[in-house]
Structure formats: C-alpha cells, structure tokens
Amino acid sequence: MSRRSRAAGRAAGPAAGPAAGTYPIDTGTAELVPDEYAPGSWVLHVNGVPSSHVDPEHPERLDFEYMRWIAALAGAHVRAHLDPARLRVLHLGGGACSLARWFAHAHPTARQVVVELDGRLAELVRRWFDLPRAPLLRIRVGEAREVVEALTPGTREIVVRDVFAGAETPRPLTTVEFARHVETVLAPGGLYLLNCGDTRDLAGARAELAALAEVFGHVAAVADPAMLKGRRYGNVVLAASHAPLPAEGSAAAAALTRELLGGAVPAQYKDGAWVRAFTAGAASRHDPAPGAGPAPGGRGPAERP
C-alpha cells in the first residue's frame, strides 16, 4: 500500500468501510481479504495467519468453528445462570471483534470491553466494520494480563480469552496465577472461556485444564473428535466457572451436544468427569519465581480450526 493510499485511508475516517489490502499495524501487518465463498464477508489475516472472519450484514454468523463453540457454551451458561439483560463481557484479544459482534447481536444490552494489544489494528477494525459504540462496546488498547490485574473484582459475567503470539497463547495467560486473576474479576456465576491452540499431544490443553481445575469448581472442554484423538493441530475451547457446567447425561448437556453437532465441523462436549480423567497426572503452569517477572502477554492471530 502506498503512502498516499494509507493517508487517504486515515482521512476517510470511521465510515470508510472495509477495503481489501495489506495495512501496516503496530505488530506487523494486517491483510483484509474478501471471502470468495461468502460474498460481502471478509477474512482478516494478522501477520499472515487467519485471525477473524466478519460478515458485516450477519453478526450472528461465526465462520470459525471454535468461535461457534464459544458462542454455544456462552449461550448455555447465560440461560442457566446469568441475567441476559445485564451481561458484562470482557474479551482478551480483539482481532476483528467477531465474537463481540455476536454478543451484541445475541444480547443487545450487553456491555463489552475488547482488550487489543495492537492500537493501529483497533483503529482499522473500527473503521472497517460497524461495531457498537461505547458504552456498549469499548476497545481498550493494552496487554491482556495487565488489564485483567487492574480491573475491579466481580465486574464481569463472561471473560473470553482468545490471545495468540504466533501460534501459541502467551504463557503468562495460561498459568494458575492468571486463572486466579480472572476468577477475581468474574461476578458470581461468571464464566471463563478460553481458546487453546494445541498440537497432537494435547499437552497445552492438559496443562491449562489442570490450572483451571485448581481455581474453579467446574471445568469443561469442547473440540472436534479428530483433535481429541490427537490426529491434528487445532483448537480446544475450555470453560471454567464456580457455577455448575452441564454434566454428561443431563438435559443441558444433551442440548449443548445437539448444537455443537450442527456445525460444519461437529464437536464434542466433555464435562468435568472427562476433564479429571484427561488431566490425571498433568502439571499445571505457574508464574516464574518472584523477581523473574512474567513475560509480556501478546496478541496474535487465532488459528482457523
């Protein structure tokens, strides 16, 4: 993109709308590409990796399967434990705000904050897409862990972590200590949802689930069967709460399973009993010893499942 084109884009302001191209951002480059299979939709690539999919006319449409799984878990938890008219949602990792747009569509009165490390990317996303305005949706530029540690306790019903540096979640966002910070921020009955990108050995998911189980009373997971059998790299969505999550054999679990099987990539819901067996003997991650200090968290593209 030429200097003149970039200047024209900045001058166009928030109403400019999406435009295909590659844009410089604070952490590298962002490329906005039309979705050839869904006219009018867009795929955002951050540093060469697909990060978000947006259908501007249909915010309820989530093209990335792991986002559908997050939405399904959130919807089930809201119905069971939370007041849908009084939701406060914190998103750690922004991208093109696909999940924030979904929450705004499903729960129009929800108050949301999206934490995005890359300030320039946040500006572009605001310009490209019709995002709800503050106070319904605020984009806060900052590092995820620093923001969480600074928040007032008990002020969020749902926290979604979808933060990547390259293909991995920054380690400081995967420890027992960080899970405790999230627990502090959550209101009673609140839900913590995590996108865990993992390899075939599922070591990352085991370590994260073990950490969550040390902090929360109820933990669950969602993934497609191939991922759970160790056949490929992909996404595992984790859920944690002090409120009960659906147990295998319950009507709630059956309803959630039906929803998860309805997507293009059918997924399986695994309850707390499965998590206990899956994490048997697994070691959770902890922050470095005092004085060493945690490495900075980051943001990066979430892998397409």
The CA-atom distances, in angstroms, between 75 and each of 62, 105, 259 are 14, 12, 11
Give me the pLDDT at residue 292, please.
60
User: What pLDDT, in 10s, does the model give residues 205-222?
Assistant: 999 999 999 999 999 999
Q: What is the mean pLDDT of residues 103-124?
A: 97
> Of the ranges 4-8, 39-43, 119-123, which one carries the lowest mean pLDDT score?
4-8
Q: pLDDT band at 147, cuts 50/70/90?
A: very high
Model-level pTM greater than 0.85? yes
Instruction: Give the chain as a DSSP string.
Output: --HHHHHHHHHH-GGG----EEEEETTEEEEEEE-TTSTT-EEEEETTEEEEEE-TT-TT---SHHHHHHHHHHHHHHHHHS-GGG-EEEEE--TT-HHHHHHHHH-TT-EEEEEES-HHHHHHHHHHS-PPPTTTEEEEES-HHHHHHHSPTT-EEEEEE---BTTB--GGGSSHHHHHHHHHHEEEEEEEEEEEEE-TT-HHHHHHHHHHHHH-SEEEEEE-HHHHTT-S-EEEEEEEESSPPPPTTSHHHHHHHHHHHTSSS--EEE-HHHHHHHTTTPPPP-PPPTTT-PPPP---PPPP-
**Contact present, 240 and 216 (Cβ < 8 Å):** yes
User: What pLDDT, in 10s, does the model give residues 37-64?
Assistant: 999 999 999 999 899 999 999 999 999 9
The dotted CATH code for 65-278 is 3.40.50.150
Give me the pLDDT at residue 167, please.
76
Is pLDDT of 293 > 60?
no
Is pLDDT of 256 > 60?
yes
User: Average model confidence (pLDDT) for the chain?
Assistant: 90
**Contact present, 18 and 55 (Cβ < 8 Å):** no
- What ranges do the domains of the chain cover? 3-54, 65-278
Q: pLDDT band at 11, cuts 50/70/90?
A: very low
Give me the pLDDT at residue 59, please.
96
Residue 31: both structure tokens together = 């490329």
Q: Largest alpha-carbon pair distance within the chain?
A: 61
